[in-house]
Structure 1
Amino acid sequence: MNDSITHYRNGKIFTAADDGWAESIVVEDHKLRFVGETVYADILAPDAEVIDLQGAVVLPGFVDAHTHLVMMGFALQKLDLRDATDLADIQSSIKQFAESNPDAPRLLGRSWLFSALDGGHPTREMIDAVVPDRPVYLDANDVHSVWVNTAALRELGIDADTPDPIGGRIGRDPDTGEATGMLYETAMMLYVWPKLAELASDEDRDAALALAFRHYLEDGVTGAVDMALGADELASLERALDAGDGTLPLRVAAHWLMTREDNEADNVRQVHDVIELHERVQGPWLRIAGIKIIIDGVIDSCTAAMKEPYSDGTNAEPIWDLESLIPVVTAADAAGLQIAMHAIGDEASEIGLTALEYAIAANGDIPRRHRMEHLESITRDNVERLARLGIIASMQPVHADPAIQENWQAMLGDYRVNRAYPWPEFTEAGAVLALGSDAPTAPHPPLPNMFIATTRRSAIDPSLAPNLPGYALPLADALAHATRDAAYSCRWEDVTGQLVRGKAADFVVLKQDPFTEGVDSLLTTEIAMTVVAGSVRYDSARATNTEAVNTEAR
């Protein structure tokens, strides 16, 4: 037997390439030596180790085109409030969590929904009623605002005199000016995130990263694009890389999170810092791809920049206006960095596309591959414009889950809800559509994500009516957008994303066949095996995950 060659035979292999399907894969030296019919694989590799797939479906490894790795690892350890249906439910969950963690100096939660408050506004007193003595930090489901109690405000040093940062807002009592306990957008990023980062150790971050890796491998993800990298996260990834002798449990491309400053020089200086990182961190397992710019907020908290007001008559200014954006985008484009722009509101995508047009005109015909993230509400004209500019539409089916749409739809309250998350419009216009999860703002497993993509139904509560089913995607298309196109979105198309000869042996084996058993089976299908660069990183039969467990133990 030749231990360096493995023949996975007798499978139903979805290649995400033009040939569509195959029966066998031959892996040699971490790559795919052959993909095709079993009879030819037997001839090509007669002495290979053979693994009989017994008809199982094999897919290219999922590439999560938009995630936050260390943040996801931390979130998995927080109190999950997504299923809380009202304030009493939220309070009861917090109280039980506090009682179960009596020695924790502060309590961290996540994923509460604005709709659970039935139109009410979150206040610190609501949390104080159940936990008055310890700081409590509760990330909203979209992770664009945080709800805190009085003890947390005190720990953060926030009071009536604390100024609102550029692009953010501290919720205040209209009569007294005192902080109410809600911190929106950059107020969360500049006050809460640094405080919690200061309180976390390198060991905490490494354990969070390892936990994210472990969950991803168990769920069939072989590559990830981290969309909010900072110094702490990069240091953790590099420690994991060193511990893995130059490899990671899965491939990581990352975008450095830009901070909106009040002058052009400081904004552009950040681009030059990222250029240096981009040149230094360019390995096969970890690379700095470019920058991430959060142009606006989210619709649920009415912080996304819209062309027309929300249902209550308010609107939001962009975090990055066009004047501040153009110099940064132009400098990054000229340097060959990938630019990823968070643009949820239809005005935000307008601003981002205009800035990109300016940069393209200024820098001429150079290689570029820019992206826009989320695009939950966008005009038809800008869909066409995005495609014409060659911008990748990076979107997350999990955000369209009907179970979390009540408040989203109420905040718009008009015709705009009828063009929510219009995935097929982008491909029909000729754009590349890359699918991801945006974990931890939404569940990370890709198979339920594919269920939402193909049905527009809820993976949380499948009994709910679908959300604009005309925008659903065929299963094969959805899978290709989450593998082939997700790899393309971070310039990995020559490495992974398809099961074709010469590419990395990154693939996943399913226990059920959604093509024959129906897309509903995506909610119950389990991962049998995850293979990264030819190495089995997860095998359900052994219920082990050697790479991630070793990393987590550091």
Structure 2
Amino acid sequence: MSDSTLYRNGSVYSPADPTATALLARDGVIAWVGPDAEAPSADVTVDLDGALVTPAFVDAHVHLTDTGLALSGLDLSGARSAGEVLAAVAAFAGKLPGDAVVLGHGWDETTWDDQAKPEAAALERAAGGRRAYLSQASIHSALCTPSLLAAARGRPGFDESGWVRREAHHVVRELALGSVPAVQRGRAQRVALARAAELGIAAVHECGGPGTSGEADFTGLLALSGQGFPEVYGYWGELLSAAKAKELGAVGAGGDLFADGALGSQTAHLSESYLDTDGCGHGYVSVEQVRDHLLDCAAHGVQGGFHAIGDAAIGTVLAGFAEAARKLGVERLRDARHRVEHAEIVNKRLIAGFVEYGIVASMQPAFDRLWGGESQMYAQRLGVARSLESNPMGAMHGVGVALAFGSDSPVTPLDPWGGVRAAVRHFNPVHRMSVRAAFAAHTRGGWRALPRDIEGARSEPRSRDQRGSEGVLVPGAPATFAVWSVPAGLSHGLPVLDELPVCRRTVLRGRVIYEE
């Protein structure tokens, strides 16, 4: 039996009719777009009361379990000193059982006047003798108590102070998060997905892998895809793991496959030294490993990709692409639509490599908002000149690099309109984007960043025509959209971003997954 809903008396952002005020969804597909006066009949009619209807957002890089734990746990993003971190830990730990692990996230010492970090012993005292793991905003380093720290002794990145990075951090992280019971983990995942739906996000790209999340965590998330929540498309980040990625239900063997670390943890691999520490960070893969991974992806028909932040790491990845092209040909690489996550420190030569190999840049505009400019973390780590040249979204868009925007939550919060505004207001005017282009990168760009054949995804199957039209409100496209209150009004069909829109309803393939 057919099921239809007419949304009327609003504004519909649609290339099919730029003046449309109504939209009809039937059986999960957009059946009609146009003016109220010409609207077909429907089983149900929804009065928009002047609201805006747009394609729903896609967040192209998330960590949902971590996001849910952060939303329901200890948020340290507001701490402005080591003392405030310890006080927050003490208050939070006092409510927990004596054998619990204290999990916190979000501290960022670059925002502190005194950037000295809490020592491991002081952290243990604040936690009342409990184990504690506090991830830095980048999630590439953490503070931990001595009992957790002992497991990482001798690993690269180990420090007696309790601030662990590189491989030592991976060991501590796995130990700490492995202590989270399955029930608590599942609850955190649902909290994160519900929050995404509340913000007008209908699909997310979950980035898992060794050192990021375990296999049970990853497959548990994929099983929730579209079950009253946004759809979840998984990327498994492990070298030479294309077959394994397919077995796990992932759509690609990439995401957080680390070519380097992060700027916040001073482990992103740069071609020039950091200003506030010795060295250029760390590269985790070789040219040959990049090449072989891409060849493995080609052999299994899987989209690949890498996490690469610093220009040296991105250079290594692109050199690996060049080696793979000698075996496969450039066109075959381009057809695979491989991805690079983050791409924060990029010059013109590296951008040309993205164009040559058809690489999708999965980027996070909030990074510039939180850490760019002349006085924030990038400037401390890199200097003002390199800071202002970071995250060059506008320049990449201008030469045809395919962009897909996300949050890297909980590194930055789920906040899609905030991401659009950050791209529009980049600290460097040269790298700014129009609202229309930034919005497209956060909607249609997320769908187009997925592999063309996504039958392995744990979501509803759909026709090839539907996959090509996702992220655009036109007849025949999936009825996936969000309804917004727009307090600052519209300009050229999209919100004026002086005040951010508020989501009133999120619809995924015709089904309401959020309603205020």
Aligned to 1:373: 341
- Asked if the contact 1:132/1:151 (under 8 Å) is kept, the reply is no
Local SS of the residue matching 1:438: coil
Local SS of the residue matching 1:320: coil
| TM-score (normalizing by structure 2) | 0.88
Given the alignment, which residue of 496, 499, 505 partners 1:518?
496
Aligned to 1:548: none
Aligned to 1:303: 267
Aligned to 1:93: 88
Given the alignment, which residue of 232, 236, 240 partners 2:216?
232
Classify 1:139/1:47 alpha carbon distance in 2 versus 1 (closer, same or farther; 3 Å): closer
Given the alignment, which residue of 399, 403, 409 partners 1:433?
403
Displacement, 1:440? Answer: 1.1
Please say which of residues 247-256 and 230-239 is displaced more in the overlay.
230-239
Number of positions where the alignment pairs a residue of Structure 1 with one of Structure 2: 486
- Asked if the contact 2:266/2:274 (under 8 Å) is kept, the reply is yes
Classify 1:289/1:328 alpha carbon distance in 2 versus 1 (closer, same or farther; 3 Å): closer
Aligned to 1:419: 389
How large is the Cα RMSD of the aligned pairs?
2.4
- Asked if the contact 1:395/1:434 (under 8 Å) is kept, the reply is yes
Aligned to 1:4: 3
Query: Per-residue CA shift, 1:333-360, capped at 9, x if unaligned?
Result: 3432111211110111111111122223
Given the alignment, which residue of 251, 254, 259 partners 1:288?
251
1:138 aligns with 2:129: no
Classify 1:70/1:131 alpha carbon distance in 2 versus 1 (closer, same or farther; 3 Å): closer
Aligned to 2:463: none
Classify 1:233/1:294 alpha carbon distance in 2 versus 1 (closer, same or farther; 3 Å): same
Displacement, 1:47? Answer: 4.2
Unaligned 5+ runs, structure 2 = 453-466
Q: Which amino acid aligns with 1:288?
A: V
Query: Per-residue CA shift, 1:73-126, capped at 9, x if unaligned?
Result: 222222111111122222222222223435562211100002127343553134
Displacement, 1:454? Answer: 2.1
Query: Per-residue CA shift, 1:301-341, capped at 9, x if unaligned?
Result: 21011011111442223011223322112211343211121
- Asked if the contact 2:479/2:510 (under 8 Å) is kept, the reply is yes
- Asked if the contact 1:66/1:226 (under 8 Å) is kept, the reply is yes
Q: Which amino acid aligns with 2:340?
A: M
Aligned to 1:545: none
Local SS of the residue matching 1:401: helix
Unaligned 5+ runs, structure 1 = 172-178, 259-266, 282-286, 457-466, 541-554
Aligned to 1:187: 168
- Asked if the contact 1:383/1:426 (under 8 Å) is kept, the reply is yes
Aligned to 1:527: 503
Q: Which amino acid aligns with 2:12?
A: I
Structure 2 distance, partners of 1:216, 1:416, is 33
- Asked if the contact 1:507/1:531 (under 8 Å) is kept, the reply is yes
Structure 2 distance, partners of 1:295, 1:24, is 47
- How is 1:134-213 mapped onto 2 (pairs within 5 angstroms)? 134-154=130-150, 157-158=151-152, 162-164=153-155, 168-171=156-159, 179-189=160-170, 191-213=171-193
- Asked if the contact 1:62/1:222 (under 8 Å) is kept, the reply is yes
Aligned to 2:245: 274
Identity %: 26
Structure 2 distance, partners of 1:370, 1:19, is 33
Classify 1:19/1:419 alpha carbon distance in 2 versus 1 (closer, same or farther; 3 Å): farther
Displacement, 1:474? Answer: 1.8
Q: Which amino acid aligns with 1:379?
A: N
Structure 2 distance, partners of 1:403, 1:377, is 13
Displacement, 1:407? Answer: 2.6
- Asked if the contact 1:105/1:135 (under 8 Å) is kept, the reply is yes
Aligned to 1:340: 305
Query: Per-residue CA shift, 1:234-260, capped at 9, x if unaligned?
Result: 33135436xx8xx452212111121xx
Given the alignment, which residue of 355, 358, 361 partners 1:393?
361
Given the alignment, which residue of 72, 75, 82 partners 1:80?
75
Local SS of the residue matching 1:310: coil
Classify 1:309/1:47 alpha carbon distance in 2 versus 1 (closer, same or farther; 3 Å): closer
Stretches of 4+ aligned residues off by more than 4 angstroms: 17-21
Displacement, 1:33? Answer: 0.9
1:485 aligns with 2:445: yes
Q: Which amino acid aligns with 1:182?
A: W
Classify 1:20/1:319 alpha carbon distance in 2 versus 1 (closer, same or farther; 3 Å): farther
